[in-house]
Amino acid sequence: MDALKQKCMEILHNEGINPISSIDFDVNGKVHSLSFEYIIDIYMQASEESRLVFLAALQKAVDAKEMRIEKFFEGMGQLLLMSHLSDKFK
C-alpha cells in the first residue's frame, strides 16, 4: 500500500472509524454510496501534490476538532460526484 494512503488509513483507524463506512449522496433522486476507503483511493490517484494536500486537509480536520472527519469525507465525496457528473456532460 502506498505510504500516503497508509497514513490516511492510519488516521481513520486512530479515530476509530471503519474505512468501509460510507456516506450516501442523493443525486437527482438516485442514491450513491461512497466509502471512506473509496474516497481515499480516488484521491490517491491524483498528482503527488494533490495527494499531499488531501492528507494535510484530513489531518487538519482531525486536529481542528471543529470539523468531524465525516464532514471532511462528505465534502470530498461531493467533489468527486460533481467531477464525475461534469465529465458526463462534456
- What per-residue confidence (pLDDT) applies to 27? 82
pTM of the model: 0.87
Q: What is the rounded average pLDDT of the residues 29-34?
A: 92
**CA–CA dist 34, 44 (Å, integer):** 15
Helix (H, G, I), strand (E, B) or coil at 68: coil
55-69 confidence digits (pLDDT tens)? 999 999 998 876 688
- Nearest Cα to Cα of residue 9 among 32, 40, 45: 40
Query: What is the residue whose three cell numbers read 433522486?
Result: 29
Cβ atoms < 10 Å from Cβ of 85: 11
